[in-house]
């Protein structure tokens, strides 16, 4: 039995898929990724289905609204929050129907506190990140909202062992003082590492399920991910962090969701082709060999994924990318 919350030789997806039909998307995920399915996100459905909107909709006593194409803190809940809630209810209905007899791990995704603080605006303008008190309120609100969301999911799908993926694409920028000010002519000060760890750890402790931190930006702080109590880190293998830091974290027991199926080609090539399962498996094995770990640990500790979300891909490419990850993972044991 694996010590990780996923089975040996598993694959999963990062989060987003193309299209607007949540029922078909959930069927695709459970059909193609039966060992480690996830609740897909469909940003093409519009505002409230995007990562920021759907995540901000979970906040407790911190309403948001869409203003000038950006999400900001609102005085009270309105049409935008009702839209988010309606989309979430449809998502959960589709998951409940598809997973009625399912027994095993299921992953859900949500933006983490630092990515929300970077991209949500205060009522007066500017990112919440510039106000430490607002960030603290946001973090507590998110933790409580996620806890309630996971409780509801458990009631709907009692056979599921839930895994939470915190999407923190903004984390390196927060730590490096690279988040732009409202004017765009300057940057906000770097947030101390200890403060970042404390906030993330508080979310991990409150939600009560295994947490994976996903970051598809360069310079992923892998050591920090281990310190917050996460069970794994999800990253793009094209943007590998320092191998020594990654090796140290994995040696200490951190799991790896290896983004080994490139997704950038889906948005840049005229006729994108996903790599074969064999090519993906070889890529993961090469990384494992460079790290110097025993081969028998690989299929237990590593989950094969796409490099990032697939919202911008064609349905055909998305399906082939998911299948390549699945078949590659099955080749690893």
Dump pLDDT digits (tens) for 133-148. 999 999 999 999 999 9
**What confidence score (pLDDT) does residue 1 get?**
40
- Give the whole-angstrom CA distance, residue 80 versus residue 76: 11
Q: What is the largest CA-CA distance in the chain?
A: 55
pLDDT at 267 over 80: no
* Residues sharing a CB contact under 8 Å with residue 300, sequence separation 6 or more, in sequence order: 2, 3, 4, 8
Give every CB contact of residue 86 below 8 A, 6+ residues apart in sequence. none
pLDDT tens digits, 195-234 = 999 999 999 999 999 999 999 999 999 999 999 999 999 9
Span 57-73, pLDDT tens digits: 999 999 999 998 899 99
Rounded distance between C-alpha atoms, residue 95 and residue 62, angstroms: 26
- Per the document, the length of the chain is 333
Q: Residue 133: helix, strand or coil by DSSP?
A: helix
Q: Name all domains of the chain by residue range, CATH numbers in brackets.
A: 22-331 (3.20.20.210)
The predicted pLDDT at position 273 comes to 77
Tell me the pLDDT band of 270, cut-offs 50, 70 and 90: low
3-state secondary structure of 275: coil
pLDDT at 97: 95
In this structure, the number of other CB atoms found within 10 A of the CB of residue 180 comes to 13
Shortest CA distance to 14 belongs to which of 281, 220, 212? 212
């Amino acid at each position: 039995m694996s010590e990780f919350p996923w089975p040996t030789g598993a694959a999963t997806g990062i989060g987003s898929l193309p299209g607007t039909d949540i029922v078909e998307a959930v069927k695709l995920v459970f059909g193609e990724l039966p060992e480690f399915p996830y609740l897909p996100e469909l940003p093409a459905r519009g505002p409230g289905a995007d990562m920021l909107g759907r995540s901000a909709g979970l906040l407790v006593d911190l309403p948001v609204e869409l203003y000038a194409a950006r999400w900001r803190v609102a005085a009270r809940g309105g049409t935008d929050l009702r839209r988010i809630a309606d989309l979430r209810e449809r998502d959960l209905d589709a998951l409940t129907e598809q997973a009625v007899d399912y027994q095993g791990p299921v992953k859900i995704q949500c933006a983490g506190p630092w990515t929300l603080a970077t991209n949500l605006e205060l009522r007066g303008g500017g990112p919440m990140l510039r106000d430490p008190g607002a960030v603290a309120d946001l973090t507590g609100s998110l933790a409580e909202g996620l806890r309630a969301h996971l409780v509801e999911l458990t009631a709907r799908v009692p056979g599921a062992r839930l895994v939470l993926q915190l999407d923190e694409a903004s984390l390196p920028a927060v730590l490096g003082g690279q988040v732009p000010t409202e004017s765009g002519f300057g940057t906000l000060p770097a947030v101390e590492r200890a403060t970042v760890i404390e906030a993330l750890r508080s979310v991990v402790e409150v939600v009560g399920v295994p947490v994976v931190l996903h970051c598809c930006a360069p310079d992923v702080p892998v050591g920090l991910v281990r310190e917050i109590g996460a069970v794994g880190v999800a990253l793009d293998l094209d943007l590998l962090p320092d191998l020594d830091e990654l090796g140290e974290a994995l040696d200490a027991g951190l799991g790896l969701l290896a983004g080994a199926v490139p997704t950038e080609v889906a948005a840049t090539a005229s006729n994108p082709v996903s790599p074969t399962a064999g090519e993906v498996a070889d890529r993961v094995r090469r990384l494992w060999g460079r790290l110097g770990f025993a081969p028998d640990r690989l299929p237990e500790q590593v989950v094969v994924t796409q490099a990032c979300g697939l919202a911008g891909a064609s349905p055909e490419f998305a399906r082939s990318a998911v299948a390549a990850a699945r078949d590659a993972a099955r080749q690893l044991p």
